[in-house]
Structure 1
Amino acid sequence: MAGRTKLGAVLVSLFATLLLAGPVSAAPAVTVTPLPNAHAHNDYEHQRPLFDALDRGFTSVEADIYPTFGKLYIGHYPWDVRPDRTLQSLYLEPLRQRVAANGGRVFPGWDGEFQLLVDVKDNERDGYRWLDQALRDPRYADLFTRYVNGAVWRGPVTVVISGRQARDLVAGQNDRYAFLDGNPADLGTGVPSTLMPLVSADWNTLFRWRGVGPMPEEERARLHQYVATAHAEGKRVRFWGTPDGPADDATARDDRRSCTLPGHATGTSEVSAPVPVTGPNCDWGMPGSTRDTTADAAGEARLAVWRELRAADVDLLGSDDLDGLAAFLTSDRSTALARSR
């Protein structure tokens, strides 16, 4: 009985202390600055799909889908698919809730475009029909950018279809909630930006330079012209396959062992034999060259490519390293380099 009395006294004392202390203050809300050029490649592979990118201000995320039996399952490969991971559960519904909580915006007070890039991996025709049906759900009214009879009505979220595309189905609709991701071959063909607001390309099919040594002037000029052409058509530009960390930097150095010299030896732009490291455009840091690549092993190659992309006004820079890209885009070079290690 005495033990119960003592316990009661302790509880009363503790309760009184909590009352005197008053309510516990909530931690101040963290203000996130949207990064209009930040794209989260394979976003669903992060610990918290969508939210990890949003917390760092990313304004574009990529979700790969496998359409199966009316469901839009998330995954890079078929064996990645899980019943609880769908486009609706990981992206559409969280975005709906976030926009509702933020007064109609993905980021409070920000009127920019948030892009959901849906990369269709298989079954594109049924996949688009199911995607179109999902986007038309009344719950998502006013959430997505919409095309109606030649006019585009901006919503907080713009859905762009990449990968395998049922282009005829999308282009044949006078009322739709999705748009197409194009490629370099689409430029100059008259495809309007109201259908194709984005063009994406594999960096390695257009350029040999991977961030080690200076970018060849011919490639830099070609990059700027490519971006200018796309922008003149009202299309944004994105590249994939750019260096994204130390392993890629090592590959970049290996690639340069067969570097290209305009007009070298054979009089063509392609050479099959290794080129001496002292030649023009091949000063890339192997023994005997004048440039040391020690820093490249820590992620310098991707920073060099990112700097060229920004200088060329490329719209979206993609990375798996959310912190590294965010740091770069906010001009914190030291953090960007450290994150790549």
Structure 2
Amino acid sequence: MTRISFIFHSFSGRLCLMLLTALLCSSYSGSRGVQIHSHNDYQKNIPFYRAYSQQVNTIEADIYTAPASDDLLVAHDVQELDTALTLDEMYLDPLVFLFKQNQGRAWRGSEQILSLMIDLKTPLHPTIDRLIAKLEKHPEVFDPAVNPYAVRVVITGSRPDPSAFGEFPHFISFDGFIDVEYTPEQLERVALISEPFCRYAKWKGGPEPLPAQEKQVIEQLIAKSHKAGKPIRFWCSPDNAVAWETFRKLGIDIINTDQPEACTLYFQQNP
């Protein structure tokens, strides 16, 4: 598939914004009691816009440095880079456009904050340096000190050592680990705690309930994260209605899903 045809079939540019208008007419913007994370969002058949139209709380993109330019390419594996679009094309440019249309907010008239989780797949430097340079061009969109409704950018993947958090601009924060003892200053730069559910439990989301022993382990992790004052997200987790309800009852703050529409609809119908 050529690059041009890929862009067309991904509904990028203004054509996609026309589709977005229609999608927003049926989107859910009510209180859900939980946050929804669009996992590996770039792999959807309509990246960004599907999740955005549902007003999810977090959208995730994996990035690589482009070998022959200053671009950042969005892809899951190195093998996909030949046809990959740039971070600007898929996420940053649409956000800049929408913030202008929505009077400085992710969604017009909404106080909800959108987070963009960016997974650095190539080494920290120069990947994060290129990213920061792009974000600095639009402080009204990506800097909460300039705009309180700005997108919160969270770095995961190739992260710096916590002792170096202070070396990076205040408008980015970091994805945290449950087993790291952060100092109070470092903890201020941690946006959330993310852990692989499959490391701690083998439960696949039903039909039998989460086993008591596995439930106890997960509850301990949730309690530890909450004691640190941070929300928690589990990836590598079951992704169906039984799992979503179980996770809500357990007190998991951020529901990881590859099905943003179905997950949003579930919490709309089961507030």
TM-score class, shorter-chain normalisation, is 0.7 to 0.9
Q: CA deviation at 1:331?
A: 2.6
| Structure 1 partner of 2:125 | 125
Which deviations, in whole Å up to 9, do the C-alpha atoms of 1:27-54 show, x marking residues without a partner?
8971633366111111111222111111
TM-score by length of 1: 0.64
1:105 matched to 2:116? The reply is no
Q: Distance in 2 between matches of 1:153 and 1:95?
A: 14
Q: Which amino acid aligns with 1:201?
A: E
Q: Distance in 2 between matches of 1:311 and 1:197?
A: 22
Q: Secondary structure at the match of 2:152?
A: strand
Distance 1:166 1:174, change over 3 A: closer
| Structure 2 partner of 1:254 | none
| Structure 2 partner of 1:90 | 90
* Structure 1: 5+ residue stretches without partners: 1-25, 245-301, 334-341
Which deviations, in whole Å up to 9, do the C-alpha atoms of 1:202-223 show, x marking residues without a partner?
1011223222312223332332
Contact 1:146 1:175 in 2 (8 A): no
| Structure 1 partner of 2:238 | 243
Q: Secondary structure at the match of 2:179?
A: helix
| Structure 2 partner of 1:312 | 250
| Structure 1 partner of 2:192 | 198
189, 199, 203: which one aligns with 2:182: 189
Contact 1:118 1:159 in 2 (8 A): yes
| Structure 1 partner of 2:60 | 62
Contact 1:73 1:87 in 2 (8 A): yes
Q: CA deviation at 1:104?
A: 1.4
Q: CA deviation at 1:317?
A: 1.1
Contact 1:170 1:179 in 2 (8 A): no
1:228 matched to 2:166? The reply is no
Q: Distance in 2 between matches of 1:327 and 1:33?
A: 7
Distance 1:146 1:107, change over 3 A: closer
Q: CA deviation at 1:193?
A: 3.6
After TM superposition, list the pairs within 5 Å mapping 1:121-200 onto structure 2: 121-137=121-137, 140-146=138-144, 154-167=148-161, 171-173=165-167, 175-186=169-180, 188-190=181-183, 192-200=186-194
Q: Distance in 1 between matches of 2:23 and 2:126?
A: 46
Over alpha carbons, which structure has the higher Rg? Answer: 1
Distance 1:107 1:27, change over 3 A: closer
Q: Which amino acid aligns with 1:311?
A: K
RMSD: 2.8
| Structure 1 partner of 2:4 | none
Residue identity (%): 25
Q: Which amino acid aligns with 1:157?
A: V
Q: Secondary structure at the match of 1:215?
A: coil
Distance 1:175 1:157, change over 3 A: same
| Structure 2 partner of 1:51 | 49
Structure with larger RCO (C-alpha < 8 A, sep 6+): 2
| Structure 2 partner of 1:262 | none
Which deviations, in whole Å up to 9, do the C-alpha atoms of 1:179-215 show, x marking residues without a partner?
11012212x4335442111111110112232223122
Q: Between Structure 1 and Structure 2, how many residues are aligned?
A: 244
Q: Distance in 2 between matches of 1:321 and 1:73?
A: 23
Q: Distance in 2 between matches of 1:320 and 1:29?
A: 19
Q: Secondary structure at the match of 1:227?
A: helix
Q: CA deviation at 1:146?
A: 4.6
Q: CA deviation at 1:229?
A: 2.2
Distance 1:231 1:160, change over 3 A: same
Q: Distance in 2 between matches of 1:190 and 1:176?
A: 17
